[in-house]
Structure 1
Amino acid sequence: MGTNLETFIESTQSVASAAVLKKLFLTAIAEEGYENVVFARANNRRLVSVPWSEFPTGYLDTYRAEEWDRIDPVVQRAPSARGPFRWTDTQPRSGFNKQEKTFFEQCRELGVHSGITIPIRGIGNEVDLISLSLRTQDRLPPDRTTHIYMLSVQYWLKYCELTDRREQETVALTSQELECLRWCKEGKTNWEIGEILHISEKTVEFHLSNGMRKLGAANRITAVIIGIKRGLIPL
């Protein structure tokens, strides 16, 4: 189902332009069942730019004119989110307020609903957002959050490389840090990795934490993608 992650990574390795990279990413996302995609940047809970988007005609113009980012729960949630989240996850226990409910209703009328957002730490205090959503009221795609997250992180890393937004520093990981990340790639839990390597779960957490810090990754999934891209972790 959908694009194989390793195939996607391999197909983007030799890409020389952001336009070709975007096309590959949109194809992969479409295969996951999503029709709308936007790549945006936020700072201090406001959008500062939208490098590109694939929305129904008129949606982005309306969003900007109404300054919806001031009330958009997705934009407000992004700075504190540590991983991907569905738009429904932004609803507080007390429910959305009237303004937020109206916002989501207007989005649905314009062909944007049932979304998932991948926040990625950008430069400084910026948060880069990749959001996917549907255009028509239909059955939601299967929950493939982790897979979509990894596709998005790979897109972002390659985009940064092409646009010189992120320096590719030389990173030296220890053999145990690399081994733990390699087993993360295989979907193993910290406990399972500990059993395989004959070390404690806390030691696994220690090595993974160090590896993530060295790679500048907010979580293990991002660390794995960066490790693959830099040739530290084999496909």
Structure 2
Amino acid sequence: MVAMVEEFIESTQDVASDTKLKQLFLTAIEEEGYENVVFARVRNRRLSSIPWSEFPAGYLDAYQTGQWDKIDPVVQRIQSARRPFVWSDTGGEAGFSQQQKAFFEQCRELGVHSGITIPIHGIGSEVDLISLSLREKCAAPTPRMTHVYMLTVQYWLKYCELTDGRRSQSAPLTCQELECLRWCKEGKTNWEIGEILSISEKTVEFHLANAMRKLGANNRITAVIVGIKEGLIPL
């Protein structure tokens, strides 16, 4: 899994256009089994823009004409979400309303099934999302969620760099912060990293929190990707 993510990161490092970047991302996502992809921006629980999408013919028109973002539980959840989530988990304790159930049924009829969404928080209340879904009714391949998450974060970071010049300007990391990040890249838990480095789990949490802050990342996956992009963590 790590090798495939590293391959994608390496293939996108020197990409000069967002079109080529999108093609590489779609190829990587298709290999994960997903056929539909949308990159959208949410402000105040409404879609503010859709930079691009790959859906069956007619789906996006139906979504926008019907203003489905007003009832779409994915859009309603995105502001508070910090990690990828499966669409079927967005109903909360009360479950889905009748209107939301009807919405999902219309999506299925138009070839949009079994999705997952990756939230990416920007400055202030800005939230971008990338949703992946299938065209046939079946369960999303969630065991590889972390893999898909890393691919998506790399795509988004490179997209921002190409389209609006955003680049990370991080403060220097300490040796232990780097070591903790390197073991995160290998999929180790905080407890496992502590055992490897002979430090407590709380100390690992402290170093990772500092690393995330310095790299401008709101979670460890993003911190690892940024670390790789900046040459702090070797491919």
Identify the TM-score tier after normalising by the shorter chain: over 0.9
Alignment partner, residue 85 of structure 1: 85
Deviation larger for 134-143 or 60-69 = 134-143
Q: 2:37, 2:54 within 8 Å by CA — same for their partners in 1?
A: yes
Cα distance change of structure 1 residues 138 and 62 upon mapping to structure 2, 3 Å threshold: same
Mapping of residues 54-93 of structure 1, within 5 Å? 54-93=54-93
Indicate the residue corresponding to 2:134 in structure 1. 134
| Alignment partner of 1:105 is 2:105 | yes
Q: Is it true that 1:191 corresponds to 2:191 in the alignment?
A: yes
- 5+ residue gaps, structure 2, are none
| Count of residues in correspondence between the two structures | 235
Are residue 155 (structure 1) and residue 150 (structure 2) matched?
no
Q: What do residues 170-222 of structure 1 show as CA deviations (whole Å, max 9, x unaligned)? A: 43111111111011001111111111111111111000001111111111111
> Residue 81 of structure 1 aligns to which amino acid in structure 2?
A
Matches of 2:204 and 2:196, distance apart in 1: 11
Please report how far the alpha carbon of residue 139 of structure 1 lies from its aligned counterpart in structure 2 after TM superposition.
5.5
User: Do the aligned partners of residues 139 and 194 (structure 1) sit closer, same or farther apart at CA in structure 2, a change above 3 Å counting?
Assistant: closer
Q: Distance in 2 between matches of 1:155 and 1:31?
A: 15
Mean Cα deviation higher: 167-176 or 43-52: 167-176
TM-score, structure 2 length as denominator?
0.96
Aligned to 1:117: 117
Measure the CA separation in 2 of the matches of 1:35 and 1:2: 22
TM-score by length of 1: 0.96
- 2:35 is matched with 35
Give per-residue Cα distances to partners, 1:36-71, cap 9 Å, x unaligned.
000001011111000000001111111111111111
Unaligned segments of structure 1, at least 5 residues: none
What is the alpha-carbon distance in structure 1 between the residues aligned to residue 40 and residue 187 of structure 2?
29
Q: 1:3–1:31: 8 Å Cα contact kept in structure 2?
A: no
What is the one-letter code of the residue matched to 2:150?
A: M
* Residue 182, structure 1, aligned to residue 182, structure 2: yes
Instruction: Identify if the C-alpha distance between structure 1 residues 149 and 234 changes in structure 2 by more than 3 Å, giving closer, same or farther.
Output: same
**SS of 1:80 mapped into structure 2:** coil
Cα gap change, 1:201/1:141 in structure 2, threshold over 3 Å: closer, same or farther? closer
Q: Is the 8 A contact 2:182 2:224 kept in 1?
A: yes
Report the Cα distance in structure 2 between the residues aligned to 1:105 and 1:25, rounded to whole angstroms: 28
Quote how far apart the aligned CAs of 1:88 are.
0.8
Question: Is this contact kept in 1: 2:190–2:201, CA < 8 A?
Answer: yes
CA distance in 2, matches of 1:61, 1:123: 29
Partners of 1:75 and 1:41 lie apart in 2 by 10
Q: 132-141 vs 21-30, which deviates more?
A: 132-141
